Amino acid sequence: MSEPAPLSAPFLSVIVPFFNEAENAEKLVDEVTTVLGDYRGMWELLCVDDGSDDGTAERLERKAATAPERIRVLRLRRNFGQTAALQAGIDASRGELIATLDGDLQNDPADLPRMVDELLERDLDLLTGWRRNRQDGYLLRLLPSKIANALIRRVTGVRIRDYGCGTKVFRGEVLRRIRLFGEMHRFIPVWIAGVTAPARIGETPVNHRPRTGGRSKYGLSRAFRVLPDLLAVFFFLRYRARPGHFFGSIGIAFGLIGTAIMAWLLIAKLGFGQDIGDRPLLLFGVLALVFSIQFLTTGVLAELLARTYFDSPRAPSYLLAPGSETPERPGKRPSGTGAPSDTRDA
């Protein structure tokens, strides 16, 4: 027999990044406020306008004016990208739990209360959605997504079936320990796995709806960006604090190959009197030794940069537009304006 539901729930912050979603912005705000109307605890909706030029920000601000205690709008100075927009919302959030949605109305806000309850019942740090019945075109969206998800699972070892789903619920204290940059929003479960046990990351089926308004910002070209992003994720997870090991291992391998080649050629020259000046193997051996020196010195430089990185404050990956500065969480230094943040990278 299950235990009765608690009388109150943790403070929930819902973050939604928008970029040129004027047709969907107001509808999404209405859906979220309706769904959370019966939420047992305090909640807030953070709408992050990522430099839209179609009137999205103005529509969001009109909605925020009707419930300023619940709805907050952050306007970025230009289009920094979805990852930076999410980071801006995370920095401004005040909730013990943080939920995210995409701004295109394809994610269903009705899933949020159930996901919050499930995260608490299963004692998870992250519960991510799985779009089991995804409403997207197969060739341009579904097939590249399946390939990318399988590749990410293989390389990272984090067994999530749908990395691209925007519907997620986090424990705020865990999410705030990572910093998002570049286009790393699709790898959030991997970053979370760097600061918590993989067993505390769960997945649950969620509703997915067809796009009814606006234009998709995703295309086939994004599928090709997964490979360099995945390489970066692999490097940062395994060698972020010791980059010298990564470059040094490659340098040593080239050094051993080059040394073996040059030793063989030396024996051939001195022991057998063979002419080695016109052998391609000589050029390859010299190049291998040069590569070895380059990778070893790169490893030393990378170690110096890593030490500098860990010892210095980091600037955020976005800038807020004038008037978008919001009250900070207690004990947190200002962020988004060039000031150092108290969060730590994963």
How do residues 212-243 score in pLDDT, each as one tens digit? 887 776 655 566 667 787 888 888 778 878 89
Q: Is the pLDDT of residue 102 over 80?
A: yes
Average pLDDT taken over every residue of the chain: 85
Q: What is the pLDDT of residues 126-142, one digit of tens each?
A: 999 999 888 776 676 67
Note the helical H segments in 67-180: 82-92, 111-121, 143-156, 172-175
Which uninterrupted H or E stretch holds 257? helix 243-270
* Rounded CA separation 165/204 (Å): 11
Higher local confidence (pLDDT), 300 or 140: 300
Higher local confidence (pLDDT), 57 or 223: 57
Higher local confidence (pLDDT), 145 or 340: 145
DSSP β-bridge partners for residue 185: none
What contacts 109, CB < 8 A, 6 or more positions away?
14, 28, 31, 32, 35, 36, 101
Higher local confidence (pLDDT), 345 or 116: 116
Higher local confidence (pLDDT), 119 or 155: 119
The pLDDT score that the predictor gives to residue 317 is: 61
Q: Is the pLDDT of residue 248 over 80?
A: yes
pLDDT average, residue stretch 91-98:
97
> What residues does each domain of the chain span?
12-238, 243-311
| 307: confidence class by pLDDT, cuts 50, 70, 90 | confident
Q: What is the pLDDT of residues 14-33, one digit of tens each?
A: 999 999 999 999 999 999 99
**CA nearest 108: which of 207, 22, 202, 186?**
207
pLDDT average, residue stretch 37-56:
95
The pLDDT score that the predictor gives to residue 250 is: 95
Q: How many CB atoms within 10 Å of residue 32?
A: 22
Higher local confidence (pLDDT), 306 or 216: 306
The pLDDT score that the predictor gives to residue 184 is: 81
Q: Is the pLDDT of residue 337 over 50?
A: no
Q: Is the pLDDT of residue 255 over 70?
A: yes
The pLDDT score that the predictor gives to residue 219 is: 56
The pLDDT score that the predictor gives to residue 154 is: 83
Q: Which CATH class is domain 12-238?
A: alpha beta
The pLDDT score that the predictor gives to residue 338 is: 39
